[in-house]
Amino acid sequence: MIRLQRGPLGQPTIGRATVLHPLQDWVDVKRYPIDQLDSRPGQALVQQCRDSLSTSNFFVLPGFITPEASAVMARESETLLPQSHFMNNRRTVYQALENEYSDLPPEHPRNRAFGYRCHIIGYEWIPSSHAIRKFYQWDALPKFLAAALGLSSLYHFDDRYQATTLLIHEQGQGTPWHFDDNNDFTVTLLLQSPASGGDFELVPNIRNSHNQNYDGLMQLFEGDEREVVTVPRHAGDIVVFQGRHSIHRVTLTRGDVPRIIAVMTFVDQPGLHAPLAVNRGAYGPRVREGA
């Protein structure tokens, strides 16, 4: 379904064509010169991102894309809602199904399950003409992210489902506490803010490769949220975070305006693909073997 969107001057954008300029004009490159990383402002931006990652495990770039670009991406994304897979199940924070560890008590963090409810659209079902798909393929993006993350290089993910995923949270839907065990960092671009709710929250570095910190997780699950950080964000903001060691969630969305976000995946080697079982678990039975 298509809902009324408001343009940067408060005027409706639905029902009239919005023509986006070249990719460089979709990003506020004066504020974020990602196409001029060798310049002094470009180097300052990279250092700003690295400093934020080292202290908080994430960085935020408010207004990374223009209001026009985010409005077009949101409108195009919402037209895909009928093709989405509705994820409605219970999983642990490690994204396993309930009671996977039968040798552990049900209340153990390894077995504590929470409800997932959201619409999910894989890259396979995003038309090549859509703005978010063109944006993902822009070569300047992985070059910038590699520099910001201190990596030698990054590549577009050669997986027909996970390259870019659209998540649409409608009234009462959200994503519970979980870790991203399959990747070292996550790149998200908010395309549309909900009327209320839908906050992105995380606990930076609640665990590490040497300590799972089950006690800290138990305290969090029992309501101790003193270490929880709420990341303010609006449509057009990009957030990059290290979700392997920072548990995170999206609180329940409220109101009749859905929260729409693009999760873009970049990898350190070309030609990589995700396992079939992982893709079927996320995108449903339509995922094809050998795709």
For 259, residues 6+ apart whose C-beta sits below 8 A from its C-beta are 167, 168, 169, 190, 192, 193, 194, 197, 198, 250, 253
**Alpha-carbon gap, residue 267 to 269, rounded angstroms:** 6
- Quick one: pLDDT at residue 158? 94
β-partners of residue 88 are 117
Domain ranges of the chain: 32-283
What is the pTM assigned to this prediction? 0.90
CA atoms within 13 A on the CB side of 6: 8
pLDDT tens-digit readout, 92-114: 999 886 666 667 888 899 999 99
Q: Which tokens is 244 given?
A: 């392997």
Distance separating alpha carbons of residues 40 and 28, to the nearest angstrom: 17
The burial class, CB within 10 Å (0-12 / 13-18 / 19+), for 193 is buried
Tokens of 207: 């665990």
Closest CA to 27 of 64, 58, 62, 61: 64
Point out the residues of the chain with pLDDT beneath 70: 1-21, 97-102, 290-291
Which phi and psi (to 5°) does residue 53 adopt?
Answer: -60, -40
By three-state DSSP, how is residue 62 classified? coil
Spatial contact of 131 and 246, defined as CB atoms under 8 Å apart? no
Region 32-283: CATH code: 2.60.120.620
Give whole-number Cα distances, 256 to 14, 127, 195, in Å: 16, 25, 7
Residue that has been written with the tokens 């909900």 in this structure: 194
